[in-house]
Structure formats: C-alpha cells, structure tokens
Amino acid sequence: MLSNCSHPILEGGVQGGPTSGRSHGELTRLRSSSLELREKEIREKGSEILREQLDAAKRELKLKDKECERLSQVRNQLEQELEELTASLFEEAHKMVREANVKQAGAEKQLKEAQGKIDVLQAEVTALKTLVLTSTPSSPNWQLHPQLQTSGTRGSNKHVGGHVRNKSVSGVFPTSAGKLESSSHSIPSVAKEDREMDSILYTEFLLWRECPSLDRSSAFLSRVYREDIGPCLSFTRSELSQLVQGAVESNSLTIEPVAIPALPMIKASSIECGGPRKCALSGLSRACQHRIKLGDKGTYYYISPSSRARITTVCNFFTYIRYIQQGLVRHDAEQMFWEVMRLRREMAVAKLGFYLTDQG
C-alpha cells in the first residue's frame, strides 16, 4: 500500500522533495518582484509621459492665455476707437446739420429779398414799357427822355445808362415846312407825306425783323452802315470818329452841355480835347456848346453843333432799333419800316450840314 505523503514532482518529471518546494517559492517571489519592478517602471514611464504632457498642456495654456489677453486688448482698443469714431461722426453730423440749417435760413432770407427785388423790378419794367410804348424818336415821351427837353426846362444834366443828349435834333430838316422848328416840338408825321415804299429796302427790313440784332452782317444793317451811319460819323479826325462810332454802338456815349463859367474849374484829371472855339471831330474853329465823353474814360471832347447833330441822329437810330430788338415797339412792320426810313433821312440831312438850333 502506497504512502499518502507523496512529494510533488518537479518540472522535468523530477520529483522534488522539501528542497524543491523552497526553490519554487523563491521562484515565485522572484517572479512577483520582477513583475513589481516592471509595473514600477511602467508606472514611472507613464508618470513621466503624463508629466511631459501636463507640462506641454500648461505651456499651451499659457500661450493661449497670452493670446487671449492680446486679443482682449485689441478688442478693447477697437471698442474705444469705435466709440471715439462714433462720437466724432455724431458731432460732425450735428455740425453739418447746424450749418445746413443756417445756410437754409440764409438762402430763404436771400430768396425772399430776391423775390421782393424781382417784384420791384417787374413793376419798374411794366412802368417803363408803358412809357416806351408811347415814345418814339419822332414823338418822344418827355418823362422817359428828359434829356430831350430844352435847357430852359431842365435842371442839371443826368446820365442814365445810355446816350445822354440835352436837346433832340430829331427832324433836323422838315421837308414841308418853310422854316426850321424848335427841337422841343413834335416833328411832322411822315404818314402825312407822299411816299412810296422801296420793295428791296422793305424786304431787307422784314428779314432783319424776323431775328433782330445789332450785327451788321445782315443786309439791312449793312446797307444802313454803308449809306448812313458811316458817312454821318465820318469826320476829319478818323481815329476819333471810329471811337465815337464804337461808343454809339455800345450805348456808352455821353453828350453834355459846356458850362462856360465853370471852365476854369475843370479838374486836372479830365483831359479836354478841342476847346470852346474848336471842334475836336472836324478840327474847325466853331463855337462848341457841348462836349462828349466815350464810356467811363475821363477824356472830354468839344464838338460843334453840326457834329452834335450828326451824332445824335445816329443815336436816335440805334435807340429805335434797340427798342425793336427788345420787343418794346408794338407797331406793325410797315409802321416800323417808315420810322426807320425817317431816322435814316435825318442822318442823311445831318451829314449834309443841316441841323436845328435852340430858339431863345
């Protein structure tokens, strides 16, 4: 019968005894210690890796904190600049609104003033048209043309933006009368004379009347310049004659009487040409009772009665065609034509040396 106290069999089929049991325990302890060492190494390595990851995470957090701080500063700066810009824009907008209100108020005030001036001017123009419609060179309106009155009925000479004449020489040579009449009386109407219309002259006038202007290129004015204005304003002193014609065309010629007692008081700045006894245009020795000024220049020229008559007849012609050009003459074409022919006749007669003198 076998014994129950059998010994364990060692690896390799060797049955171990007490000594082998102890070796097995040592081996087990060695294995466990080896495992513990391995586990310790693994834990240390894992801890080291975790620490590195933690440090990296901390460094990354620090960088992100710095970035967040920088972005926060940028945001605060942008918000401050935006607030300042908004405040500046609001201030500028309010300033522009105030300026616009001030300008609008000023413009409205100026508009009211301008409207008031326009109303006044319209009233004056209406009154002027009323006067002009009743005035022609043959029958002048004395309120509109005070310069056409005789010296006995006038005060001082006034220049009102046109040809200034102290006495009219219209109708310098009445054909049906045996003697010359005073210039302050109405000239006999051309409608009472026997006359026959020249078809060529009338056609040229009608063509000019369709678009009236002072341009001498038209057949009508070209003929008048050639046959009447040029010869009438052709004096011995040709250069001065051209200046006189230019002043008449631009409506800037002034004729005024010579105050004989005031001659010694003439200002030195006013250059006198000719003299009381010599006509500046013809160069002849004549008693000069008038003088002319061209435009705004301070130069005066003494003129004889004949020269004055020739200048004023041309002025009468230009005055009438300006009225037509401005639409102030309400007559029909035939009446206008005959008035123009009468004015042309006056220029021709004045050129021949006939003129009216003041009576008394």
10, β-bridge pairs: 14
The pLDDT of residue 40 is: 84
Asked if residues 196 and 312 have their Cβ atoms less than 8 Å apart, the reply is no
Q: Which residue has the higher pLDDT, 279 or 271?
A: 279
The pLDDT of residue 266 is: 41
Average of per-residue pLDDT across 11-17: 49
Average of per-residue pLDDT across 48-74: 91
pLDDT at 290 exceeding the cut of 60: yes
Sign of CA dihedral 235, 241, 245, 250: negative
What confidence tens digit (pLDDT) does each residue in 75-111 have? 999 999 999 999 999 999 999 999 999 999 999 988 9
Strand boundaries in 145-298, DSSP class E: 253-257, 271-273, 290-294
pLDDT at 12 exceeding the cut of 50: no
Average of per-residue pLDDT across 262-279: 55
What confidence tens digit (pLDDT) does each residue in 133-155 have? 655 555 555 555 555 554 444 44
What confidence tens digit (pLDDT) does each residue in 205-232 have? 999 999 999 998 999 999 999 999 999 9
The pLDDT of residue 267 is: 42
What confidence tens digit (pLDDT) does each residue in 297-348 have? 778 999 999 999 999 999 999 999 999 999 888 889 999 999 999 999 999 9
C-alpha dist (Å) from residue 204 to 120, 198, 219, 256: 39, 10, 6, 35
The pLDDT of residue 302 is: 93
Average of per-residue pLDDT across 171-181: 41
Amino acid at 43: R
The pLDDT of residue 138 is: 55
The pLDDT of residue 46 is: 85
The pLDDT of residue 135 is: 56
Instruction: Write the DSSP symbol of residue 276.
Output: T
Identify the weakest region by mean pLDDT among 31-45, 96-110, 210-224, 234-248.
Answer: 31-45
SS3 content of the chain, % helix, strand, coil (to 5): 60, 5, 35
Helix (H, G, I), strand (E, B) or coil at 290: strand
Most confident region among 136-150, 162-176, 186-200, 261-275 by mean pLDDT: 186-200
| φ, ψ (nearest 5 deg) of residue 295 | 70, -145
